[in-house]
Chains A and B, each alone.
Chain A
Amino acid sequence: KQEVTQIPAALSVPEGENLVLNCSFTDSAIYNLQWFRQDPGKGLTSLLLIQSSQREQTSGRLNASLDKSSGRSTLYIAASQPGDSATYLCAVGSSNTGKLIFGQGTTLQVKP
């Protein structure tokens, strides 16, 4: 059974700092991995999707990497801003059914 873990559970950094969020999964037989952002009381916004054959994806200040063999993904946020404050969720697609298995999330606070 696939399990997804995110570390740390919470993170507080000063504005401008570069930071890394971690996601690990127990079964390396994945189809893809997706990073989402969730603002309090809101739905999920898709940030990046990495297919199992890819090593990384970039969008603006965000870079996500994937190491299937070690069961790890990282989300790198450059030059953090207060507007980046949110909960970040990683989710693994482990089958061709499209189902996602989510980690518990990392709640990020960027202080001005």
Chain B
Amino acid sequence: SAVISQKPSRDICQRGTSLTIQCQVDSQVTMMFWYRQQPGQSLTLIATANQGSEATYESGFVIDKFPISRPNLTFSTLTVSNMSPEDSSIYLCSVGATRTEQFFGPGTRLTVL
């Protein structure tokens, strides 16, 4: 299994600002994903972070709002831009490969005032 860390673990932000969340894995991984978990809800995939190229976004999520970087096989960032209270959620990164177990980071709890 992979050990995944996320920074920050939580943050409280003002509307209109941006927050960048980091995801670090202890080994090289093929696939990295970013999920959002809104209060009381299940997880929804935001995008697949592709190493060396633009992320692949799911329906309803756009690059201008959630820019993602993945400079190498162990690290990725997700930025939540121009935040509003509706962006208050837990943001989780996960890693895996086709047909294998996926492992999740501890999550970043974001509150937007």
Q: Answer whether A and B are interacting partners.
A: yes
CB distance from A91 to the nearest CB of B (A): 8
Q: Is the interface of A mostly helix, strand, loop or mixed?
A: strand
A93 neighbours in B (Cβ, 8 Å)? 99
A-B contacts, 15 of them at CB < 8 A, read A32-B99, A41-B109, A42-B106, A43-B92, A44-B94, A44-B104, A46-B102, A46-B103, A96-B98, A98-B31, A98-B33, A98-B48, A98-B102, A100-B45, A103-B42
B64 within 8 A of A: no
A20 neighbours in B (Cβ, 8 Å)? none
A96 to B101, CA, bound (A): 13
| Interface size classification for chain B | 20 to 34
B102 neighbours in A (Cβ, 8 Å)? 34, 46, 91, 98, 100
CB distance from A60 to the nearest CB of B (A): 16
Are A97 and B92 touching (Cβ within 8 A)?
Answer: no
B41 neighbours in A (Cβ, 8 Å)? 104
Residues of A within 8 A of B (CB-CB), count: 25
| Known A98-B33, A98-B48: A46·B42 in contact at CB below 8 Å | no
Q: Which 3 A-B pairs have the closest CB atoms?
A: A44-B104, A43-B106, A98-B31
Contact with B along A80-110 (1 / 0, CB 8 A): 0000000001010100111111111100000
Residues B35-80 near A (CB distance < 8 A): 41-45, 48
CB distance from A3 to the nearest CB of B (A): 12
CB distance from A108 to the nearest CB of B (A): 15
The chain B residue sitting closest to A48, CB to CB, is: B101
Of A49, A96, A99, A105, the contact of B33 (CB 8 Å cutoff): A99
A91 neighbours in B (Cβ, 8 Å)? 43, 102
| Known A51-B99, A93-B99, A99-B33: A44·B45 in contact at CB below 8 Å | no
18 additional A-B pairs beyond A43-B106, A98-B30, A98-B102, beta carbons within 8 Å, are A32-B99, A41-B109, A43-B107, A44-B92, A45-B104, A46-B103, A49-B101, A51-B99, A91-B102, A98-B31, A99-B48, A100-B45, A100-B102, A101-B45, A102-B42, A102-B44, A104-B41, A104-B42
